[in-house]
Chain A
Amino acid sequence: MQSDSLDGTARPQDGEGLGVLPEKEPPAPHAPREAILEVRDLVRHFPLTQGVVVKRQVGAVKAVDGVSFDLRRGETLGLVGESGCGKSTVAKLVTSLETPTAGSILYKGEDVTRLSGRALKAVRRNIQMVFQDPYTSLNPRMTVGDIVGEPFDIHPEAAPRGERRRRVQELLDVVGLNPEYVNRYPHQFSGGQRQRIGIARGLALRPEVIVADEPVSALDVSVQAQVVNLMERLQDEFGLSYVFIAHDLSVVRHISDRVGVMYLGKIVEIGTEREIYEHPTHPYTQALLSAVPVPDPSAGERRTRIVLEGDVPSPANPPSGCRFRTRCWRAADRCAQEEPVLQVPAVLRHAEGPAHHPSACHYAEEKERIVPG
């Protein structure tokens, strides 16, 4: 079966152990590379309206409420959070599928949110998206060749007409699919293969940034790993920068250089993968990490588990002050009045080492043994 050779990750290129590919650069927090994307104070409110004929606004769902981060060239920034934290909206804002209510997205210094028409189209070439659901993200009535080739129809300057078919086949090859599948339809493929088609489409225009919104969460465990490996290989080959959005903390840790943790439309903590996973200082991050099921029955005894009370509040009516305070075991009066800023907390300002990273908590503190080691 062809899948064994084409779909399998047993491909020699995939085995990084063979040393074919350059080692993924180690996270280098102290030598920041050039930021390719700078997101500043991004806000997206969805108005809640009432009335059929005359609509009047009665409130707003604050899906994203002041998010800032940098994406550096060649790195993977992971965004984690629970449903409703606004991570998918961030993905749509960064890819210009939504217009922000306020804030800016600078791509190589140019504010994308102010662009339209031809200029926007040009930027879109460089910022592409991979969607979560491989079943709805491919048009069921287009052949794989048409799907992967559509970017060239939209941007005719990217490839001369006669070249396109060959380019499509190359792309399929790059993502580990048989180039002969161009005339097949999406339903003839499994979830993992469809996700590869989606990735091929995203790669077609040779973008610099790929925003992947839960790219593996709809896939089976054994196939997830194949797609994660593929994305890592493509990053090395094409020098891509990823914004990798997922709710699965283990996958995010695996692929990310830096990680931002989101809660109710805000980033509550951001740092390198090691800073966040081994030295989290925000209570929410700590709770989130402690809740991750670990596939090791004996790990249960070696870790402290923080089970949070209650549910995430509605983003239409977030709590005052710190948004996490309603579920936080360390909340005090100050948390209700004063909104914590995402910065290196004062108590840790003089601390050396990995606890020294931005965390939006008045009482930020390191906690031992969140993740069993």
Chain B
Amino acid sequence: MVERAPESPSAADEPPAGSPTAAAAGGGGGTGAAAGLAAPGEQAPGPAAPPGTEPGPSGQARSLWSDAWHDLRRNPVFVVSALLILFLVLISVWPGLIATRNPLSCQLNKSLDPASPGHWFGYDTQGCDVYTRVVYGARTSVTVGVCATLGVAVAGSVLGGLAGFFGGWWDALLSRVTDVFFGIPIMLGGLVFLSMTGSRSVWTVIAFIVLLGWPQIARIARGSVISAKQNDYVQAARALGAGNARMLVRHILPNAVAPVIVTATIALGTYIALEATLSYLGVGLQPPTVSWGADISDASQGMQFRNAPHILLYPAAALSLTVLAFIMLGDAVRDALDPKLR
């Protein structure tokens, strides 16, 4: 350990103070191929230093985002969940790719029939093909889930984050407003708000969810921005003359985003379920629209699923899988953005 690694650029031997020699030494180390191979015992000595997993000094400057992407591509959890989500998106756009029947053409005489060749998931109460309905339901459910989550996350983090960063009257106002929204029972709000609108589309439902959902994220974003803001590195950036935008984007955002990602991905599942509950109460989407939520609530009526569990099982499984995929994705992204976990 005493001997110096021979290929190290040996800063110690060079006169310091930005002289050209020192610079040349640094540059030389960067291009020298041998320097890339971390010799045993050459890694950073700090107790926290992991074994020489570093790709070594490459000429490339790396950043959090490029490192995160580098990590994500190698993370099986990310790959699996991303593929699953890609698949969901594909069948939402083109359900015909894997389902050939019409989800609305049903035969009542086949009500609750079990699985049969060509109809692997069986029939529901109305005699519709469960498989086809699960495939076509993806569009509504995924749209509601993803768009509502995105809307909530963006609105919530921007409003909450700015309130946390700037403080003052804007923060006080926002806090009171979120308190008011927290006081509104979501079901009651749904009944009032959605029954006032005449024709309800997927977008009406999404708008309603964003309207009532953003305070939750805003509160979390505000808290994590406040705690990130207090770190000395934000002060350090300010002392360097950094403006608010830089402090927010470079220093606060990456350090405050993790709890927002976690809450948002978990909320995604509840939003899909919320759409179902609203439909069940008659203020959500109207019958011709196919959605997992609607099918789940239909199936849970009158205990029919006791005799024919498949009518509940398949849409519920699709919903769970979707939620799981997003939670896994959120987890993977959060971990990739934390250099300590590398």
Contacts and interface: CB of A to CB of B under 8 A. Distances in A.
A and B touch in the complex (CB under 8 A): yes
Contacts, number: 194
A11 B12 contact: yes
B337 A97 contact: no
Interface in B220-245: 231-233, 235-242
Interface stretch (A123-131, A242-250, A270-278): A123-131
Given A95-B239, A169-B30, A170-B22, A6 B17 contact: no
Nearest to A131: B232
Interface in B34-50: 35, 41-42, 44-50
The majority secondary structure among interface residues of chain A is helix
A120 interface: yes
B240 A180 contact: no
B80 interface: no
A148 to B, nearest CB: 11
A181 interface: yes
Contacts of A362: none
B113 to A, nearest CB: 56
B255 interface: yes
Contacts of A128: 239-240
Contacts of B2: 4
B177 interface: no
Interface residues of B, number: 64
A139 B235 CA distance: 11
Contacts of A97: 235, 238-239
Contacts of A183: 54-55, 57-58, 61-62
Contacts of B58: 183
B26 A237 contact: no
Interface stretch (B87-95, B188-196, B204-212, B246-254): B246-254
A124 B58 CA distance: 33
A308 interface: no
Given A136-B233, A187-B48, A53 B172 contact: yes
Q: Which among A124, A145, A173, A178 has the highest number of chain B CB atoms within 10 Å?
A: A173
Given A124-B240, A137-B236, A143-B62, A3 B17 contact: no
B98 interface: no
Given A143-B63, A169-B23, A2 B42 contact: yes
A133 B8 CA distance: 29
A174 B67 CA distance: 27
Given A137-B232, A140-B339, A166 B41 contact: no
B161 interface: no
Interface in B124-179: 172
A108 interface: no
B340 interface: yes
Given A143-B63, A165-B61, A180-B30, A170 B18 contact: yes
A154 interface: yes
B284 to A, nearest CB: 38
A32 B252 CA distance: 44
Contacts of A169: 23, 26-27, 30
Interface string A83-101: 0000000001001110000
Given A2-B8, A4-B4, A146-B64, 9 more contacts: A1-B1, A128-B239, A128-B240, A142-B250, A166-B27, A170-B18, A183-B54, A183-B61, A190-B45
Interface of A: 1-8, 11-13, 52-53, 92, 95-97, 120-121, 124-125, 128-129, 131-133, 136-143, 145-147, 150-151, 153-155, 165-167, 169-174, 176-185, 187-190, 193, 198, 201, 205, 237-238
30 contacts: A2-B5, A3-B45, A11-B12, A52-B172, A121-B241, A128-B239, A133-B232, A136-B231, A136-B232, A137-B236, A141-B254, A141-B337, A143-B61, A143-B63, A169-B30, A172-B26, A173-B16, A173-B26, A174-B17, A176-B11, A178-B44, A179-B26, A180-B30, A182-B61, A183-B57, A183-B62, A189-B49, A190-B45, A201-B236, A237-B16
